[in-house]
Structure 1
Amino acid sequence: MTNKFKFFAADFPNSPGVYLMKNDRGRILYVGKAKSLRKRLSSYFRASANHTPKTVALVSHIRKVDVLLTSNEKEALLLESGLIKKHRPRYNIVLKDDKQYALFKLNKHSEFPRLSITRKVTRDGSVYFGPFTSSTAARTVWKLLGKVFPLRKCTDAAMKNRIRPCLYHDIHQCWAPCVKEVDRSLYNDMVQRVEMLLSGRSMELVDSLTRKMKAASKEMEFEKAAVFRDQIRAVKKTVEGQVAVIHDNRDRDVIGLAQTEQGLGLGLLFVRQGRLLDEKQFFWPGLTLDEGPEVVESFISQFYGPGRFIPSLIISPYEFDDSPLSEVLAERGAGAVRITLPQAMKEKQLVGLARSVAAQARERKDTISARLQKVLRLPDEPVRIECIDASHLSGTNMRVGQVVFEEGRRNPEASRLYAFPELDGTGDDYAALSAWARRRVESGPPWPDLVLLDGGRGQLSAVEAALAECVDDGCWELAAIAKGESRRAGELGDFIFRPGRKNPMPLKPGSAELLFLQKMRDAAHRFVIGRQRSSRKKAVLSSELTALPGIGSKTARVLWDRFDSLDDMINADSTEITTLPGIGRKRAEKIHAALQSLKISRKA
């Protein structure tokens, strides 16, 4: 092991930035930000410093410190957050459960607004409600609302191309504004009711519906009165699990911390329009309340990332007046965000409730990642697993698919497809996997904690040899899953191989660990085959498209960038084609005519 790191304050600038502490293998141990890098780093290596056990352990492993300068502390905060998410350093407060929660989205800018479930907030004029930590609960509410408030269900693209009502119209859950004449004033009135309900004005909505129900009954319009009655029941059923905790109309999240025997728990309450909508727990083993301010600041920075719903008020057990955190959240969200201590008695009670939630948080020791670490004998828990599968079509169209699982869940946005045209005609899976390993290293972090290959010892050796050439600090943790010869009922026949072992790992057939590895292998196989077929189909359709007069390869690319299928191109009118870049009115008319001729030839 190399000598202990010797710190000299003069080696570091007295300016804002981010520092990266590394061990003797160059791995990042900790990422931090500072208004003054010199002062902040000096606090770690001062002999009289009263450090927490975590900081003492961190300092003992530091062998190198790199710094990245920024123009201000706000830029340092943004850079720190991105680097923590990318590298997941061992000694940082890393938010493992950072998935986007379900939200209701009401696209009020549309002529006929639609209520949908989403996990991402975009600045498109829509109104968002939530979040729901349980997507099942969100979908249950969505279905209930759909039965009594028949808003349209289809997307804008589907609505534009629909020629007949869908099934939802047949079961009286949609007025079918896509093809039928719908009174916009009545539709907007229904949209307003849904918005009142989701924004917490449920009692006001019930009173309004009750008055309308009684008026309809008085006028002997009993069918209309029954509709209002069903809506009242739906409203009451939707809000029956929501507790009124504070009497105002503000959205706020409330954070509480609690020390447990195992570590530090954090409780988060989602309060919408004065009602407690949901709650969530987080846990970090081995931490204490002494690290509370760092935990809360890091949590807020990571949890309220881009695309997440951010309330205008966050109640925290600590103040961050000198931090640019509020400014950063305001830029990520849709308006000003205030992070403050609890002021009123009700807010203090909410922090106490959040603290009670935090006290119940526990480390999940039986996670699939922890079990895989044990059975595969890995040095660390595999938080990020990349599963790799090579595929070709009779030796051609060589592709390698990569799917990613984080904390036991698939991350579809991290999937990648690698093409290797230089290997076409070879059908060499080993060469493709070796080429993938080199390309994967070039693409940079986040690095995998485990790479799972669809194959056997040969595939494992090929990737291991390729990584040994281009990874400085040794090979990544590798495993391969291979199908056995047996296909008899009750025998799963899959073997798991690891480098340095002649025999497969002793995983029990039907065990949760083996089933999870099989699930990842199957996901990678479906991904690469699906993308391969899609690419081949698109190539065939593109050749059919470029065969038309006036449509070359560049025009075909422009059309494919705008439309999802050849049918969408054929159904588009010349006016829509005119909006494409580089295509004028006369050329659009020629393209439209060519597409119509293709439509006629298809029917012939």
Structure 2
Amino acid sequence: MTQEFKFFAARYPDAPGVYLMKNGRGRIIYVGKAKRLRRRLASYFQKNSGHTRKTRALVAQVASVEVLLTGTEKEALLLESGLIKKHRPRYNVVLKDDKQYVLFKLDKGSAYPRLSITRRVVRDGSVYFGPFTSAAAARTTWKLLGKVFPLRKCTDHVFNNRVRPCLYHDIHQCFAPCVKDVDRDMYMDQVRRVEMLLSGKSGELVASLERQMAQASGALEFERAAECRDQIRAVRKTVEGQVAVIHDNRDRDIAGLAVTDKGLGLGLLFVRQGRLLDQKQFFWPGLALEEGPEVVRSFLMQFYGVGRFIPSVIISPFEVDDDSLCQVLAERRGGPVRVAQPRSTQEKKLLDIARSVARQARERKDTISERLQKALRLPEPPERIECVDASHLGGRDMRVGQVVFEGGHRVAEDSRLYAFDELDGTGDDYAALAAWARRRVESGPPWPDLVLLDGGKGQLKAVERALSECVDDACWQLAAIAKGETRRAGELEDMIFRPGRKNPLNLRPGGAEMLFLQKVRDAAHRFVLGRQRRARKKAVLSSELTSLPGIGPKTARILWDRFESIEAMTGAGPGEIEALPGIGKKRAARIHASLQGLGKPESD
């Protein structure tokens, strides 16, 4: 049971920074930022403070609080956002759907601009249009525009190196400026038409095209008139479904909140040049409307990340009293950003539409953590999973590799390799895994929600017994994934064992839960084998290195710390070697001479 946390205000500075609240297992359950840390933390632990239900549940779980100081509140906001994305704390508003949406990019800085599809905004002088939540719909529009506005399709590299026209030119969907002498004024006229269409000026574009069609028809230039006719049809088809909702040419996003039967929904409208372009829903289970201001602030910081298209106006259902947020968004956009409540009647109507979209938000499907909780019969969803695999080479070089997955994603920097030289020559996987369990307890938090072992009931029992000897309360959740009769990793015959059960769990072969566990197991297997082979290769090279005159084990270690490979050592000059600690000029010359002879055939 978690011991009640005792808060002492004097322990915390009254300065800007980030605070990390951890539970009894050392896991970060909440990340927050504050302009004055001491005052903000004190507000959590005051009695009768009128906290929301979520905050009361959070405070009941807190076992320790760690703070990270920053120079300004803006720096604290950036640090908070990065830590939320990395640790995905249980009580923070975490944006699960944080993918970049599709945009149209018109690279106007090029001599012959092209219209392409991208997911990132780069400040290179290009013009961007969007976003579109449906990549399929965006590609359909792109293909339609490509048929009637024959701009080039190839990248700059292909454009600069092409020697003959491509297929698009043969089917009359590209002018082929890469190899042909294309009139640039005529080409840029097509570019302006595309830009007018995507900027929402379809009415002006259609009127212009109709005038040009009439002029061409009157001059008996029927081919040019047919081209204008086709472009008019394409424009009208492209703008179908884009409703004019506000009478100005500004881009704005509108965020609306609404309570549903199971949580809090957020609807986001994308309005471009006064037309409703697209919409998106988000959902957080268990939250109430009273958490709304925090939800909106955290959402805006996570959603409008670096590389995202950010409009100049963001309409919020609450007043966002945070100047640092607007500063960060303005820097990411490269221009001013206003985050405010609706001012005009039209903006209020848009907010009502966003609320209607939010009411339809639902949690679409269980996360992989929630699926694993049900399949493995765990007390709570396993957010942090540590998978271990024991490996040796003919009984030698006993190693245990550990990989970590959080929120269904690999955390590569948390991978660890444990060496057990005392077990060399035994080839005892059970003893190695038991030794790993003891070492893992000694290393401390963050503790795993689930430990997955590459093995069967024997490996599971060995780790369970070791943990019972060094942990008072055997609260670690364990599981083992064993290969089937074919003994091949990834086969559908893989079996999952849990402590206290004689038979494996009945997981559907090919199901999401089994495939994920196989993925985690395979990652641990590849990690330990890769590190083992690398260490063996380095040992062989070190042995070859120490056989050279003037290079012993200590010098070899110094060389390996400075240079990553034998090739780097042999390519180093005497001056670089002399700069190493404890090596003088004369010795550096001898070492350099020895290294130059490394790998060369001996003379007769």
For residue 47 of structure 2, what is the amino acid of its counterpart?
A: A
Distance change in 2, residues 1:386/1:104 (3 Å):
farther
Distance change in 2, residues 1:221/1:28 (3 Å):
same
Residue 257 of structure 1 and its aligned partner are, at CA, apart by 0.8
Distance 2:238 2:405 in 1: 36
For residue 507 of structure 1, what is the amino acid of its counterpart?
A: L
Find the counterpart in structure 1 of residue 356 from structure 2.
356
Find the counterpart in structure 2 of residue 267 from structure 1.
267
Find the counterpart in structure 2 of residue 72 from structure 1.
72
For residue 30 of structure 1, what is the amino acid of its counterpart?
A: Y
Q: Alpha-carbon deviations, 1:437-483, whole Å to 9, x = none?
A: 9xx99xx9999977888887899999999999xx9x99997767666
Q: Alpha-carbon deviations, 1:143-198, whole Å to 9, x = none?
A: 11111112222221222232333222222222222222222222211111111111
Find the counterpart in structure 2 of residue 101 from structure 1.
101
Q: Alpha-carbon deviations, 1:470-500, whole Å to 9, x = none?
A: x9x999977676664479xxx9434445678
Find the counterpart in structure 1 of residue 28 from structure 2.
28
Moved more, 320-329 or 79-88: 320-329
Find the counterpart in structure 2 of residue 343 from structure 1.
343
Who wins on radius of gyration, i.e. which is larger? 2
Secondary structure in structure 2 of the residue aligned to 1:92 = coil
Q: Alpha-carbon deviations, 1:488-532, whole Å to 9, x = none?
A: xxx943444567866443112354544566688899999999xxx
Distance 2:89 2:5 in 1: 19
Distance 2:227 2:129 in 1: 25
Find the counterpart in structure 1 of residue 308 from structure 2.
308
Does the CA-based 8 Å contact 1:388-1:403 persist in structure 2?
Answer: no
Distance change in 2, residues 1:221/1:358 (3 Å):
same
Find the counterpart in structure 2 of residue 176 from structure 1.
176
Q: Alpha-carbon deviations, 1:76-134, whole Å to 9, x = none?
A: 11111111111111111111111111111111112221211111111121111111111
Distance change in 2, residues 1:48/1:525 (3 Å):
closer
Find the counterpart in structure 2 of residue 60 from structure 1.
60
Question: Counterparts of 1:387-426 in structure 2 under 5 Å?
Answer: none
Distance 2:38 2:170 in 1: 69
For residue 163 of structure 1, what is the amino acid of its counterpart?
A: V
Question: Counterparts of 1:289-308 in structure 2 under 5 Å?
Answer: 289-308=289-308
- Cα RMSD over matched residues? 4.8
Q: Alpha-carbon deviations, 1:414-452, whole Å to 9, x = none?
A: 8899999x9xxx9x9x99x99x99xx99xx999997788
Question: Counterparts of 1:172-211 in structure 2 under 5 Å?
Answer: 172-211=172-211
Does the CA-based 8 Å contact 2:452-2:478 persist in structure 1?
Answer: yes
Which runs of 5 or more structure 1 residues have no equivalent in the other structure? Answer: 392-399, 530-552, 558-604
Question: Counterparts of 1:157-556 in structure 2 under 5 Å?
Answer: 157-381=157-381, 484-485=484-485, 492-496=492-496, 503-514=503-514
Residue 21 of structure 1 and its aligned partner are, at CA, apart by 1.1
Identity %, equivalent residues: 71
Secondary structure in structure 2 of the residue aligned to 1:267 = strand
Distance change in 2, residues 1:502/1:94 (3 Å):
same
Secondary structure in structure 2 of the residue aligned to 1:80 = helix
Distance 1:387 1:229 in 2: 63
Secondary structure in structure 2 of the residue aligned to 1:324 = helix
Distance 2:202 2:115 in 1: 17
For residue 166 of structure 1, what is the amino acid of its counterpart?
A: C
Moved more, 511-520 or 174-183: 511-520
Which runs of 5 or more structure 2 residues have no equivalent in the other structure? Answer: 392-400, 420-424, 530-566, 572-604
Q: Alpha-carbon deviations, 1:236-267, whole Å to 9, x = none?
A: 11110111110110000001111122111111
Distance 1:176 1:298 in 2: 47
Does the CA-based 8 Å contact 1:249-1:274 persist in structure 2?
Answer: yes
Find the counterpart in structure 2 of residue 5 from structure 1.
5
Distance change in 2, residues 1:167/1:445 (3 Å):
farther
Secondary structure in structure 2 of the residue aligned to 1:15 = coil
| TM-score, with length taken from structure 1 | 0.73
Find the counterpart in structure 1 of residue 583 from structure 2.
none
Secondary structure in structure 1 of the residue aligned to 2:146 = helix
Residue 361 of structure 1 and its aligned partner are, at CA, apart by 1.2
Does the CA-based 8 Å contact 1:403-1:523 persist in structure 2?
Answer: no
Distance 2:154 2:528 in 1: 29
